[in-house]
Amino acid sequence: MIPIEYYLWLSAVLFSIGVLGVLYRRNAIIIFMCIELMLNAVNLVMVAFSNYMNDAAGQVFVFFIMAVAAAEVAVGLAILVMTYRNTKSTDINILNRLKW
């Protein structure tokens, strides 16, 4: 059997790569994709624990995470398209009105 900590470490690596991507890139779409990557890392942990504890709750939760991720992507991309219409760019540094 593959020890569970291997899966945990794999998931940690994927998660931190996702964080790296969020911090590294300025394009909003790439940032979205890295967020998806982070969600997937979490999914991996869930399934691993579900397997090792013989509990179905983990997999059900992954189900729901996927549903939420789908909804989130849809809405997020819609917002992105609206922003592009107004600013003609996907650079997040242009979106600097979150002050005052």
Partner 1 sequence: MVDIKVLISWIPIFPLLGFLIIGLRVHKISHRTSSYIACGAVLLSFLFSAIVFAQLLGMPSDQRALTVRIINWIGTMGFSANISFLIDPLSSIMLLVVTGVGFLIHVYSIGYMHDDAGYSRFFSYLNLFIFFMLLLVMGSNYLLMFVGWEGVGLCSYLLIGFWFKNHDYNKAANKAFIMNRIGDLGLLLGVILIFINFGSIDYDIVFPNASSISGTTLTWITILLFIGAMGKSAQIPLYTWLPDAMAGPTPVSALIHAATMVTAGVYMVARNNILYSLSPLALELVLVIGLCTALFAATIALLQNDIKKVLAYSTVSQLGLMFVALGLGAYSSGIFHMVTHAFFKALLFLGAGSVIHALQGEQDIRRMGGLKRFLPVTYLTFFVATLAISGIPPFAGFFSKDEILANAFAHNPLVWTVALLASLLTVFYMFRLFYLTFFGTPRADASRMNHIHESPKSMAIPLMVLAVLSFAGGFMNIPEALGGSNRLQEYLSPVLNAGDNKAVHHLDHATEYLLMAIVVGLTLVVIGIAYVRFVKKQLVPVEDGQLAGISRTVYHKYYVDEIYDFLIVRPIHWFAKVGDRVVETLAIDRIVNSFGHLVTASSHVLRRLQNGSIGFYIFVMVLSIIVILTLTTVADLGR
Partner 2 sequence: MTLNLFYFLSFVAVLSALMVVFSKNPVYSVLYLIITFFAIACHYVLMKAEFLAVVHLIVYAGAIMVLFLYVIMLLNLNKETEPHKSNILKFAATICAGLLLIVLVGSLKGAELLLKARPAGDSAIGTVKNLGKVLFTDFLLPFEIASILLLAAMVGVVMLAKSEKKLKINE
What does the longest C-alpha to C-alpha distance in the chain come to?
55
Decide: 92 and 31 in contact? Cβ < 8 Å. Answer: yes
**Per-residue x/- marks for partner 2, 32-71, CB under 8 A?**
xxx-xx--x--xx--xx-xxxxxxxx-xx-xxx-xxxxxx
- With CB under 8 A as the rule, give the number of residues binding partner 1: 12
Residue 63 interacts with partner 1 (CB under 8 A): yes or no: no
Does the protein bind partner 2 through residue 89 (CB under 8 A)? yes
**Which among partner 1, partner 2, none contacts residue 98 (Cβ within 5 to 8 A by kind)?**
partner 1
**Residue 74 three-state SS:** helix
